[in-house]
Amino acid sequence: MTDYFFTLFDTALGRCGLAWGDAGIVAVSFPEADDAGTVAQLRRRAAGAVEMPPPAHIRRVIDDIVALFNGEPRGFDYVKFDMEGIADFDRDVIALTLAIKPGETKTYGDLANALGDVALSRRVGQALGRNPFPILAPCHRIVGAGGLMTGFSAPGGTITKQRLLKIEGALAPDLFDAL
């Protein structure tokens, strides 16, 4: 049996959570209604996880998430993920998402084409909705056709998605960013 651990941490979006084990990051959670909800979200993938102060390599990930949400560009290409229990199709979608660098975006159709058929676009969207590693496996870099901001479940929804893409340089600032 694998031991899992979690910690909660404050960000500009609210109190997030991260779960890990020996094989890597197991889950990341955006803020839920309360801490109990965030812990429950983490335990969906990290059953039995116990709260623990993060070791240095996990602290680095947390610090980078906090910095990103504060407007400082960050990359997460150093993160090790625990893919145990993730369906093959979802793993393939996550792998394609991980290949998208900060400052870039792809469409659901782009990912579907890379998987062999544009008709898989809906399945790609569903897989991204199940992404257990939001921010780290950057589903915010996936946009609808023509750059349409769609499908982002973080607090603030597509406005948060746009903000993250602006921080990373994928979108230019607009008039209201200075306000």
Check which CATH number belongs to the domain holding 138 and give it: 1.10.10.10
pLDDT of 170 strictly over 50:
yes
63 and 106 assigned to the same domain: no
Specify if 167 maps to a domain: yes
Between residues 175 and 25, the one the model is more confident about = 25
Q: What is the amino acid identity at position 30?
A: F
Annotated catalytic residue 16: no
92 and 29 assigned to the same domain: no
Domain that holds residue 64: 4-69
What pLDDT sits at residue 36?
96
Task: Please tell me which residue in 18, 65, 139, 154 is annotated as part of the active site.
Answer: 139
The per-residue pLDDT for range 95-149, each reduced to its tens digit, is 999 999 988 999 999 999 999 999 999 999 999 989 999 989 988 888 888 776 7
The residue from 69, 99, 118 where one domain ends is 69
159 and 100 assigned to the same domain: yes
Instruction: Tell me the whole-structure pTM to 2 decimals.
Output: 0.87
83-92, 96-105, 110-119, 150-159: range with lowest mean pLDDT: 150-159
The residue from 40, 69, 98 where one domain ends is 69
Segment 39-51 shows an average pLDDT of 96
Segment 74-83 shows an average pLDDT of 94
Pick from 121, 166, 138: nearest CA to 79: 138
What pLDDT sits at residue 179?
46
Distance of alpha carbon 17 from alpha carbon 50, whole angstroms: 12
31 close to 38: Cβ distance less than 8 angstroms? yes
Q: Which two tokens stand for residue 171?
A: 């979108």
pLDDT of 178 strictly over 60:
no
Specify if 131 maps to a domain: yes
What pLDDT sits at residue 162?
79
Between residues 118 and 170, the one the model is more confident about = 118
Q: How many domains does the chain contain in total? A: 2
Specify if 79 maps to a domain: no
158 and 95 assigned to the same domain: yes
Mean pLDDT of the chain: 89
Looking only at the bridges linking them, the beta strands covering 4-11 and 14-21 are antiparallel
Specify if 178 maps to a domain: no
The residue from 37, 69, 101 where one domain ends is 69
